Structure 1
Amino acid sequence: MDIAALNAEFAIPDHLRFTEGPGGLAMIEIANALATATISPYAGQVLAYRPAAAPDDLLFVSERAYYAPGKAIKGGIPICWPWFGPDPEDKGRGGHGFVRAWPWEVRACKAQPDGSTLVKLGLADDASTRAIWPHFFNLRLEVVVGATLSVSLITRNAGDAPIRITQGLHTYFKVGDATRTRVEGLDGCRYIDKAAGAGDAVVVQEGPVTVSGEVNRIYEQVPASLSIEDPVLNRRIRIDAQHSRTCVVWNPWVETAHAMDDLDDLDYLRFLCVETVNTASEVIEIPPQGESRITAEYRIESLTPTS
């Protein structure tokens, strides 16, 4: 992407600018009165978000992350679409779809009356996407950076036949120590345990979710609001989802982290993924010319009340 051309069309003085990031990829840098953020138009991916006066970023990004065409960036909020998890048709296509390693178009950047910043990115089908997934679509990502971070993924079926998708916001949350972190709100929910070995065991969650080994779970019929309690960073991350009744909790633990070239061996302690998704039993069917939306809003609160 041409940085100068992007700035000429979309920059907002003293508010939003485009810069050249790692690997020569364009980055959207936002600094308004409410928060700072970084968004990569390549991959349509939020990479950083920090509310004003917050001591730590919301998101984790690996120091070994790839920044190169055709490679997914490890961290932030990757977009999994039009399938979540393995190729549903077993055609040898990569996991989690293709748009997290695909260039998106910048469609709009706007300062809003409440002081927040709205960024709209988009991706429409062409011959190269249809070679991977043979459907007509228009995909939009709407990110609002303010006192909270809101991320919406909107799929429009541009064809004349229904399409079926699974999808997700594969959010990597920065934590002080994954082994001391709790996910609240999933007590009593059934989950598919993808780390259970042979077959996928179905289990009912009892109490908060904690990490003491590999965690790879698809929770079903989940409430709209969840939270991550992090005593090390002294904060609570609230996650409010719309149009999502499934969620994934993932931490790779020692062996899987060691096997990933784009993770440091100890990174499994530094993040926890709590992902707002439509997957497993929650397959979305979109009629011709119809739309589907999934949204997550993130808020950081202190665990220790201030006087």
Structure 2
Amino acid sequence: MDLDALNAAFDLPGVLRFVEGRGGLTLIEIDNGLARATLTTHGAQVLSYRPAGVRDDLLFVSKRAYFAPDREIKGGVPICWPWFGRDPAEPERIIHGFARLRDWSVLACETRPDGATWVRFGLADEAETHALWPHYFNLWVEVTVGATLSVSLTTRNAGDEPFAITQGLHAYFSIGDPAQVRVLGLDGCRYLDKAAEAPPDAVGVQSGLLGFEAEVNRIYESVPPSLMIEDEALQRRIRIDSRHSRTAVVWNPWIAGARSMPDLDDEDYRHFVCVETVNAASEVIRVAPQQEVRIGAEYRLESL
């Protein structure tokens, strides 16, 4: 993208600017007094967020992450769309869809009355997306960087035929030590167990807090709108308030999983957990012609 043109159109002096990042990707750097954040137009993805006065980033990005136009970035908050995980209709297609691989347009950058910074990205169907998924659509991602971080994804069916989607905000949260991390709010929720060692189609019911002592890869159903990650090592809580989502994914690849992924360091399983706001598994979203649907989450850091 033309950085001069982007800065001329959307620069917020002293608050927001466009710069060139690794692999030539376009980054948006924000420092508004309430928080610092880094976004990229590649996938409309948030890469970093730190509220004022906070030392440790909310988000994790792998040092081995790919920063390239045709690759996903391992970390931050990737946008999974129009399918989450494997496409059930065509499982050989790229996992988590194509939205996180596309270069999104910047549509607006504003300072809100409370001092927060709001950025809106857009993506529409074109010949390349039709080859992957034959539907007409408009997508918008809105990111608000302030005392909290808010991310939302809106889908509009721009065609004459209905379509179905699964989707998610695949948030990677930075942690101090997985042995000292617990996820609160899932007690009593049924889950589908997708871990490598789990039997096919394994299901379970969460009892109490969720900890991490091995690979965790679960799709939880009928989840409450608020979940919490409690991190004793970093002495903080991460509150996740979801909107228009009744399923959540919790993932940590553990030792073997991290070693199997070229864009993760072997020890990276120690440094993140994913707690993802999704519409997945049985929560398939059907979008009528000219209809809009939305999914979103707000992330807040709290001290223990």
Scaled by the length of structure 1, the TM-score of the pair is 0.98
Greater than 6 Å deviation, 4+ residue runs: none
Query: In the alignment, is residue 185 of structure 1 matched against residue 190 of structure 2?
Result: no
> Equivalent residue for 2:49?
49
> Equivalent residue for 2:114?
114
Instruction: Spell out, residue by residue over 1:254-304, the C-alpha distance to the aligned partner (whole angstroms, 9 max, x if none).
Output: 00100111111000000000000000010001111000000100000000x
Pairing 1:40-119 to 2, within 5 Å after superposition: 40-90=40-90, 92-119=92-119
Pairing 1:117-196 to 2, within 5 Å after superposition: 117-195=117-195, 196=197
1:192 maps to amino acid = L
- CA deviation after TM superposition for structure 1 residue 55, in Å: 1.3
Judged with a 3 Å threshold, the aligned counterparts in structure 2 of structure 1 residues 201 and 91 are, in CA distance, closer, same or farther, namely closer
2:138 maps to amino acid = N
Distance, in Å, in 2 between the alignment partners of 1:197 and 1:148 is 36
2:6 match: secondary structure: helix
> Equivalent residue for 2:236?
235
> Equivalent residue for 1:4?
4
1:181 maps to amino acid = V
Distance, in Å, in 2 between the alignment partners of 1:76 and 1:142 is 15
> Equivalent residue for 2:207?
206
1:78 maps to amino acid = P
> Equivalent residue for 1:226?
227
1:120 match: secondary structure: strand
Pairing 1:247-258 to 2, within 5 Å after superposition: 247-258=248-259
Number of equivalent positions: 303
> Equivalent residue for 2:269?
268
2:58 match: secondary structure: coil
> Equivalent residue for 2:26?
26
- CA deviation after TM superposition for structure 1 residue 179, in Å: 2.0
2:9 match: secondary structure: helix
Distance, in Å, in 2 between the alignment partners of 1:185 and 1:44 is 29
> Equivalent residue for 1:13?
13
- CA deviation after TM superposition for structure 1 residue 198, in Å: 3.2
2:178 maps to amino acid = A
2:259 match: secondary structure: helix
1:254 match: secondary structure: helix
Instruction: Spell out, residue by residue over 1:30-79, the C-alpha distance to the aligned partner (whole angstroms, 9 max, x if none).
Output: 00011010001011100000001011110000011100111000000010
Q: RMSD in angstroms over aligned alpha carbons? A: 0.8
Uncovered stretches (5+) of structure 1, i.e. residues with no partner: none
Uncovered stretches (5+) of structure 2, i.e. residues with no partner: none
Distance, in Å, in 2 between the alignment partners of 1:223 and 1:248 is 13
Distance, in Å, in 2 between the alignment partners of 1:87 and 1:222 is 23
Distance, in Å, in 1 between the alignment partners of 2:91 and 2:79 is 20
Instruction: Spell out, residue by residue over 1:7-40, the C-alpha distance to the aligned partner (whole angstroms, 9 max, x if none).
Output: 1111100010001111111100000011010001
Distance, in Å, in 1 between the alignment partners of 2:181 and 2:84 is 25
2:62 match: secondary structure: coil
- CA deviation after TM superposition for structure 1 residue 200, in Å: 1.9
- CA deviation after TM superposition for structure 1 residue 91, in Å: 5.5
Distance, in Å, in 1 between the alignment partners of 2:90 and 2:282 is 18
Scaled by the length of structure 2, the TM-score of the pair is 0.99
- CA deviation after TM superposition for structure 1 residue 197, in Å: 3.2
Distance, in Å, in 2 between the alignment partners of 1:92 and 1:81 is 16
Distance, in Å, in 2 between the alignment partners of 1:285 and 1:117 is 32
Distance, in Å, in 1 between the alignment partners of 2:192 and 2:154 is 26
Distance, in Å, in 1 between the alignment partners of 2:85 and 2:286 is 17
Distance, in Å, in 2 between the alignment partners of 1:299 and 1:192 is 27
1:293 maps to amino acid = R
